[in-house]
Chain A
């Protein structure tokens, strides 16, 4: 019954536009050209708009795991970032969410010259944990990420890590906390099969605690295993929104063409 379900994320005609200062075209870089532009008041051609998400609307309910699929550049990560509050929605639409959604991505930039252990502490504090909560978790996080499997890497600066190690550590940090709305951006693709199994298991656990989980992935097996509902985003527009099997087969047909 629709009435029993509690919505946790509502997108209402969400439009998301990137405004980019593109690189200077030839002939635009000289001081004379800039001066000319200021004097004649022409808008710098270097600022371009990319309309990443166009009019997306959906309702996500508590207890759902929703997959987000689409070809490259379709706006999936942008939509997740907007739900997390990191990107603004154009006036005229809105995205509503319960509490503060957490974006769990591979891009959590940490300080490269610090040791892995110190980055874990910093990352946990940045997620809002208190030092008392952080202390017992540090060992757990490092173990989960598996960076110490070949020696004591957690005391070495992160710039000495391989890209996989860095990504796994960041995922482990982000997965250490309980979230109301969890947004996962292709974080499960990193690491070997062993780590992937561990992280899928962790996502399942987080999903039991979390109200709602959004998962962006290109791996159809992950989507089928983890999500019962899927939204297909193509060029910023929602093309389908429903049970995973149906949407994924439609998507596969489209991609095969």
Chain B
């Protein structure tokens, strides 16, 4: 005889107690932060594999393929140099303007692309999320890794530009590595933060291009940082100088270029770089983790 399911088992205990007695966990329960981090670590092969897959996927049908990873930053730099360096002549105040400008453009693009692509990493992968169980942070992190790979290509272009414009190779060049590492950590935090934000309120995705534009203008990418020090004082200047993107750009300029005037002393820049990286990555990760069980609904 068929029977409809009863809320209590034959022995009269509630289903909840039965679950507890046999150690079954609630399907939708959020794992602890540490467990989540460990799960992510277990999925590292998937993350790197998915990052390569995305790169192949996006460049798959183009003729030049991976060569675009180098061409894109090159074209960017060329356009900005012609407009700002030659036509508008904002060079004043910076010695080697091409290299100064290119540092700014490439480092800015690293963060900007990580944030823009990271923001849509959840909302544009709903199919994958709904079909497979894996820690969702794998998606913004793999986006950040794709951008790191693009960065490697643009850094090689940047180094060629720096050498061609007459900068010497000094021991300070080694600082590029920790600076980029810190920026990568910062970018991952931002990608995760925006990924969850956009998945909650998709309208924010429309705002991101504006945010990145404003940020670019505030980060002395297209003109020397002296423009700020000439016009602002006191707390306003400190606010501008604490801008993380400016900090990372300045660190690269400090490492690669000679005779460049920075927004602040190098030690201060390093401290700010480290603090920004730690704070943003932690906040981004926790914020993303809190929303783990909500992605893909609807």
- A residues with a Cβ closer than 8 A to B are 2-3, 6-13, 18-21, 56-59, 81-89, 94-98, 100-103, 105, 107-109, 111-114, 118, 121-123, 125-128, 130-131, 157, 231, 238-243, 246-247, 250
Inter-chain CA distance A86–B293, complex, in Å, is: 8
Contact of A96 among B7, B24, B127, B132 (CB under 8 A): B24
19 further A-B contacts with Cβ under 8 Å, apart from A20-B298, A84-B133, A126-B134, are A2-B9, A18-B298, A19-B298, A56-B5, A84-B27, A86-B129, A86-B130, A86-B133, A88-B297, A94-B16, A96-B24, A96-B25, A98-B22, A114-B60, A121-B49, A122-B46, A123-B132, A131-B45, A241-B2
B10: A residues at CB distance < 8 A: 2
Cβ-based interface call for B234 (8 A): no
In the complex, residue of chain B having the shortest beta-carbon distance to the beta carbon of A108: B131
Q: Are B133 and A85 in contact (CB under 8 A)?
A: yes
Q: Are B131 and A109 in contact (CB under 8 A)?
A: yes
Q: Are A7 and B18 in contact (CB under 8 A)?
A: yes
The total of chain B residues at the interface (CB under 8 A) is: 47
Q: Are A111 and B297 in contact (CB under 8 A)?
A: no
Contact stretch, chosen from B50-58, B101-109, B187-195, B258-266: B50-58
B6: A residues at CB distance < 8 A: 57
Q: Are A107 and B130 in contact (CB under 8 A)?
A: yes
Cβ-based interface call for B86 (8 A): no
Q: Are A57 and B296 in contact (CB under 8 A)?
A: no
A11: B residues at CB distance < 8 A: 15
Q: Are A238 and B27 in contact (CB under 8 A)?
A: no
- Cβ of B151 to closest chain A Cβ, rounded Å: 23
Inter-chain CA distance A231–B293, complex, in Å, is: 27
CB-CB under 8 A for A88 and B294, given A12-B15, A12-B19, A113-B61: yes
Q: Are A97 and B24 in contact (CB under 8 A)?
A: yes
Inter-chain CA distance A246–B129, complex, in Å, is: 37
In the complex, residue of chain B having the shortest beta-carbon distance to the beta carbon of A239: B4
- Cβ of B292 to closest chain A Cβ, rounded Å: 10
A109: B residues at CB distance < 8 A: 127-128, 131
- Cβ of B198 to closest chain A Cβ, rounded Å: 15
- Cβ of A210 to closest chain B Cβ, rounded Å: 15
Q: Are B3 and A242 in contact (CB under 8 A)?
A: yes
A231: B residues at CB distance < 8 A: 5
Tell me which of B56, B133, B293 has the highest count of chain A C-beta atoms within 10 A of its own C-beta: B133
CB-CB under 8 A for A246 and B49, given A19-B297, A89-B27, A107-B130: no
Cβ-based interface call for B26 (8 A): yes
B11: A residues at CB distance < 8 A: 2-3
6 closest Cβ pairs, A-B complex: A109-B127, A96-B19, A242-B2, A125-B46, A96-B24, A12-B15
Contact of A128 among B7, B25, B42 (CB under 8 A): B42
Q: Are B293 and A10 in contact (CB under 8 A)?
A: no
Contact of A130 among B5, B45, B60 (CB under 8 A): B45
Q: Are B2 and A98 in contact (CB under 8 A)?
A: no
Cβ-based interface call for B67 (8 A): no
Tell me which of A19, A56, A57 has the highest count of chain B C-beta atoms within 10 A of its own C-beta: A57
CB-CB under 8 A for A89 and B28, given A10-B18, A10-B19: yes
Cβ-based interface call for B68 (8 A): no
Q: Are A103 and B133 in contact (CB under 8 A)?
A: yes
A20: B residues at CB distance < 8 A: 298
B61: A residues at CB distance < 8 A: 113
**13 pairs, CB–CB < 8 Å, chain A vs chain B:** A7-B24, A19-B298, A108-B128, A109-B127, A114-B57, A118-B53, A118-B56, A123-B132, A125-B49, A126-B46, A128-B46, A130-B45, A239-B4
Q: Are B28 and A81 in contact (CB under 8 A)?
A: no
Q: Are A108 and B132 in contact (CB under 8 A)?
A: yes
CB-CB under 8 A for A59 and B18, given A97-B27, A128-B42: yes
Q: Are A105 and B131 in contact (CB under 8 A)?
A: yes
Inter-chain CA distance A94–B22, complex, in Å, is: 15
B57: A residues at CB distance < 8 A: 111-114
A95: B residues at CB distance < 8 A: 26-28
Q: Are B130 and A7 in contact (CB under 8 A)?
A: no
Cβ-based interface call for B214 (8 A): no
In the complex, residue of chain B having the shortest beta-carbon distance to the beta carbon of A83: B27
Q: Are A238 and B53 in contact (CB under 8 A)?
A: no
Q: Are A59 and B293 in contact (CB under 8 A)?
A: no
A82: B residues at CB distance < 8 A: 27-28
Q: For chain B residues 79-132, which have a beta carbon within 8 Å of chain A? A: 127-132
- Cβ of B208 to closest chain A Cβ, rounded Å: 20
In the complex, residue of chain B having the shortest beta-carbon distance to the beta carbon of A84: B133
B9: A residues at CB distance < 8 A: 2, 59
- Cβ of A79 to closest chain B Cβ, rounded Å: 11
A243: B residues at CB distance < 8 A: 2
- Cβ of A20 to closest chain B Cβ, rounded Å: 6
Q: For chain B residues 26-70, which have a beta carbon within 8 Å of chain A? A: 26-28, 42-43, 45-46, 49-50, 53-54, 56-57, 60-61
Contact of A103 among B50, B54, B131 (CB under 8 A): B131
Q: Are A107 and B19 in contact (CB under 8 A)?
A: no
- Cβ of B294 to closest chain A Cβ, rounded Å: 7
